[in-house]
C-alpha cells in the first residue's frame, strides 16, 4: 500500500509581497519619511522670526541678534519654554514671552515688559522714562504710564537696565513709590532743587517736601493735614519740611 505524496512547495526564486508584509513595510517607510520631513528636512527650518514688544516692533539690537540665532533651526525641535527662559533671564525688562510657531518656517514672539512703578520726565519733554520697582530704567513711553512721575528741570542721561546716577533723583523716585504704596493720589513730584520737592496732588493742591529729612515723618504730617477738611479748605500749598506744617 503506497501513501499519497505530500506536496512541499520549494523556495521561490522571486520576492513576493503579500498584504501581511506590504502594509507594515509601507507604514514603516511612511514613518521614516515623515520623521525625516519633520526633523531634518529644510522645509521646516526657521527662516523668519517676527518679534513685537508691547505691541510694537522689536528694535533692541541685542534682542534682535539673539533672535537671529533661532534661524536655521528646526521649528519642531525648538522649545517655547526654553526660548522664554533665555530671553527673560537675559533681559530683566522682559516680563513675559509668548511664542507661536507658524508652519512651515515662521516663528512669532510677543513680548511684554515688566510693569512700570514710577517714571521720570524732563520738564517740557512729551515722553516718560519708566522704571521698575528697583528704579532701573525699563524704557521710554510716549503716553502717560499712569504711575507717579518725578519731573526734573534739565536733560539727564539714563541707560536701560540701570538706575539713574543722580542720588537726588533716586530719593525722589523712592518718595514717589512710597506715596503710591500709601495710596496717595500724587500726579507728579517736581525736583525743584537739592532741598525741595514739590508734589502735585490729584486734588489740585501742592505739598512741599525735602529729601534731607525723614520722608516718612513728612508723609505722616501731610496725611494728618489732609485728613482735616477744615484746615486745608483754603490752602493751596502744604509745606511739611518743618516741625509744624505750613499752609498757604
Predicted pLDDT of residue 81: 93
Last residue of a domain, one of 85, 113, 141: 113
Q: Do 129 and 104 fall within a single domain?
A: no
Last residue of a domain, one of 96, 113, 130: 113
Distances (CA, A) of 197 to 42, 50, 175, 200, 237: 62, 44, 10, 10, 12
CB within 8 Å of 77: residues ≥ 6 apart: 39
Q: Which of 89, 113, 137 is the last residue of a domain?
A: 113
For residue 59, with 0-12 CB atoms within 10 Å meaning exposed, 13-18 middle and 19 or more buried, which class applies? exposed
How many domains, in total, are found in the chain?
2
Q: Is residue 105 one of the residues assigned to a domain?
A: yes
pTM here is 0.65
Kindly state whether residues 242 and 128 are assigned to the same domain: yes
* 189 part of a folded domain: yes
User: Looking at residues 186-194, what average pLDDT do you find?
Assistant: 89
Are residue 163 and residue 220 in the same domain, yes or no? yes
pLDDT at residue 16, rounded to an integer: 55
Which CATH number goes with the domain that contains 132? Answer: 3.40.50.11690
Same domain (yes/no): 99, 200:
no
Q: Which domain holds residue 129?
A: 118-247
Phi-psi region of 128 (alpha: psi -120 to 50; beta: other; left: phi over 0): beta
Average pLDDT, the chain: 85
Distance CA 69, CA 62 (A): 11
pLDDT tens digits for 201-217?
888 889 999 998 988 89
The confidence band for 2, taking pLDDT boundaries of 50, 70 and 90, is: low
Q: Residue 177 above 90 pLDDT?
A: no
> Residues 99, 123: one domain?
no
Question: Is the residue at 25 inside a domain?
Answer: no
Which pLDDT belongs to residue 166? 92
Assess if residue 2 is contained within a domain: no
99-104: list long-range contacts, CB under 8 Å, 24+ apart. 101/75, 103/44, 103/75, 104/43, 104/44, 104/75
133 & 237 share domain = yes
> Same domain for 239 and 134?
yes
Question: What confidence tens digit (pLDDT) does each residue in 18-29 have?
Answer: 656 667 766 776
Question: Quick one: DSSP state of residue 146?
Answer: S
Would you place residue 63 in the very low, low, confident or very high pLDDT band (cuts 50, 70, 90)? very high
**9 part of a folded domain:** no
Amino acid at each position: 500500500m503506497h501513501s499519497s505524496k505530500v506536496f512541499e512547495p520549494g523556495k521561490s526564486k522571486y520576492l513576493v509581497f503579500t498584504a501581511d508584509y506590504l502594509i507594515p513595510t509601507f507604514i514603516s517607510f511612511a514613518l521614516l519619511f515623515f520623521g525625516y520631513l519633520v526633523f531634518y528636512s529644510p522645509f521646516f527650518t526657521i527662516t523668519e522670526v517676527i518679534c513685537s514688544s508691547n505691541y510694537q516692533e522689536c528694535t533692541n539690537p541685542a534682542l534682535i541678534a539673539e533672535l537671529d540665532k533661532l534661524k536655521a533651526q528646526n521649528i519642531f525641535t525648538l522649545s517655547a519654554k526654553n526660548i522664554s527662559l533665555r530671553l527673560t533671564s537675559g533681559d530683566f525688562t522682559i516680563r513675559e514671552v509668548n511664542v507661536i510657531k507658524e508652519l512651515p518656517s515662521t516663528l512669532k514672539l510677543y513680548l511684554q515688559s515688566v510693569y512700570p512703578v514710577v517714571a521720570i520726565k524732563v520738564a517740557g519733554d512729551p515722553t516718560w522714562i519708566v522704571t521698575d520697582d528697583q528704579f532701573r530704567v525699563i524704557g521710554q513711553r510716549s503716553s502717560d504710564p499712569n504711575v507717579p512721575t518725578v519731573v526734573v528741570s534739565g536733560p539727564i542721561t539714563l541707560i536701560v537696565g540701570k538706575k539713574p546716577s543722580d542720588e537726588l533723583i533716586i530719593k525722589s523716585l523712592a518718595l514717589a513709590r512710597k506715596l503710591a504704596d500709601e495710596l496717595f493720589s500724587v500726579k507728579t513730584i517736581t525736583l525743584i532743587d537739592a532741598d525741595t520737592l514739590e508734589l502735585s496732588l490729584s486734588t489740585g493742591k501742592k505739598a512741599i517736601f525735602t529729601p534731607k529729612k525723614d520722608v516718612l515723618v513728612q508723609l505722616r504730617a501731610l496725611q494728618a493735614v489732609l485728613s482735616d477738611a477744615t484746615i486745608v479748605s483754603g490752602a493751596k500749598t502744604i509745606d511739611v519740611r518743618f516741625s509744624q506744617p505750613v499752609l498757604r
